[in-house]
Structure 1
């Protein structure tokens, strides 16, 4: 069903959900020493950049006056900031390489066992056991030596060496180290894509799958149990999606599109929820509300 031609939500209606969205980011800013004036400067530049490129009229030159009208920023500031470009989080080479190798280790039949789990790999291809870590790395990139990748991954505890001398993918391979460049990169990428999907659903109708199951008023033990079980469910879903995507890419001619599937799990202590439950939010799109508890 096509979405009705409704206007975007008013600024007044956006204030409450945006405040909730920004609160954890503000906590990160303060803990990291990112001051309010610094955030304002960044936001001002982003406003000008988005207005300049995303709101340009077809076959018309985007003027300083129109950007100023759209953003509320003075024309003098608009003129200074236009064309400067907003900071973009490019993919670090090490992140791209690591992700590609791990994705292949988890998906390619020659590197997984009958249950779809990543196999322990011999270090070198001439050790008599196939496949090997050397052939895995070489199948993804020739720009770096497999031994260099192995040393780096051992240091970062992405892999370990088992009793048979084979390279084993560690559970920590899926979780970047706290505060590492890889973690900060995915902070920007994953949150951007989640927010972009939700915003598209608000502005254009339910284009993207963006749902959550949520219960309030739980005991700590049940919340911990549900967190653990949902982690297992999420990991299985992501590995299956990775296998399907990896197989499909083998025959895909390639192009200029990208796809991402993300899952998040979160829990916190919320003592006010039982006595003062929040009203049901009616502006959310594509949200699964389970029976049995008042949705948050």
Structure 2
């Protein structure tokens, strides 16, 4: 790429970064994370990204290579190597509690708002054991209770009863930040992969302006109904395929997927040169 083209691309990417970062920075500031804290953390993120890019290109991630690529001083690269800690395993994977909850909602074998706590299928115990043999069902139950998603009703047998129809952890908890990072991170990764590697992932949106407030209400209802139907189809298919794949060795079951939806409405920021517009973005 010619130097002028490279500088132009860099300038355009930085302008795009404004739109990408502004909502996130608003959240950080609202939760007490200031520029000094964020910039210190960002240095580590730059180095991790540089390390990943060098690995992708099958190049050795020396201190010099990391410094040149990231723009971080070699002294800071060396300090980062000495102090960095391994990332938690499964950072983008759904939590076990989330997986159990989703299976309960959409697996036909576990229909109903309550399950016996223990016993033969269908029970809460067998539901958890199907997903993980490593974590005791009692631990998962306690986590779901902590999140306000289930309650236990004592009877001749203890019943685990659902309290909600969707997995929505309380605000400002580790579960919320993990779900937010996983969802937005995968969305951005899909878009970036499509730019760097060609159209690899489904990543599209529909948008229109100018419209009235009444139109916003109607469009939001259409979007929610459409996603509800799509979500049900995806979860039914995912549950069926998960069961089918259990006969395969673990080495052949190393893939994951995420599909999502969002609906956003806001005020048009400028009225200069505004024309009626309806487009589909890819």
The TM-score bracket by the shorter chain reads: 0.7 to 0.9
**More deviation, 64-73/144-153:** 144-153
Q: Name whichever structure is richer in helix by fraction.
A: 2
Decide whether aligned partners of structure 1 residues 176 and 236 sit closer, same or farther in structure 2, where only a CA change above 3 A counts.
farther
Name 2:131's counterpart in structure 1: 140
- Would you say 1:197 and 2:195 are equivalent positions? no
Task: String of CA shifts for 1:70-100, please: whole Å, max 9, x gaps.
Answer: 11222222222236447745558xx622122
Kept in 2: contact 1:104–1:246 (CA 8 A): yes
CA–CA distance in structure 2, aligned partners of residues 147 and 57 of structure 1:
42
RMSD, aligned CA = 3.5
Kept in 1: contact 2:209–2:277 (CA 8 A): no
Decide whether aligned partners of structure 1 residues 147 and 38 sit closer, same or farther in structure 2, where only a CA change above 3 A counts.
closer
Shift, 1:58, TM fit: 6.8
Q: Name whichever structure is richer in strand by fraction.
A: 2
Name 2:256's counterpart in structure 1: 259
CA–CA distance in structure 2, aligned partners of residues 147 and 55 of structure 1:
44
Kept in 2: contact 1:159–1:168 (CA 8 A): yes
Kept in 2: contact 1:107–1:242 (CA 8 A): yes
Question: Which one of the candidate residues 213, 216, 219 is aligned to 1:223?
Answer: 216
- Corresponding pairs, count: 268
CA–CA distance in structure 2, aligned partners of residues 225 and 153 of structure 1:
34
Q: Secondary structure at the match of 1:213?
A: strand
CA–CA distance in structure 2, aligned partners of residues 134 and 278 of structure 1:
58
TM-score by length of 2: 0.78
**Unaligned runs of at least 5 residues, structure 1:** 1-6, 113-118, 280-290
Question: Which one of the candidate residues 147, 161, 164 is aligned to 1:156?
Answer: 147
CA–CA distance in structure 1, aligned partners of residues 138 and 224 of structure 2:
32
Q: Secondary structure at the match of 1:293?
A: strand
Kept in 2: contact 1:108–1:246 (CA 8 A): yes
Question: Which one of the candidate residues 227, 243, 252 is aligned to 1:250?
Answer: 243
Name 2:272's counterpart in structure 1: 276
User: Higher relative CO (CA 8 A, sep ≥ 6), structure 1 or 2?
Assistant: 1
TM-score by length of 1: 0.75
Shift, 1:141, TM fit: 4.2
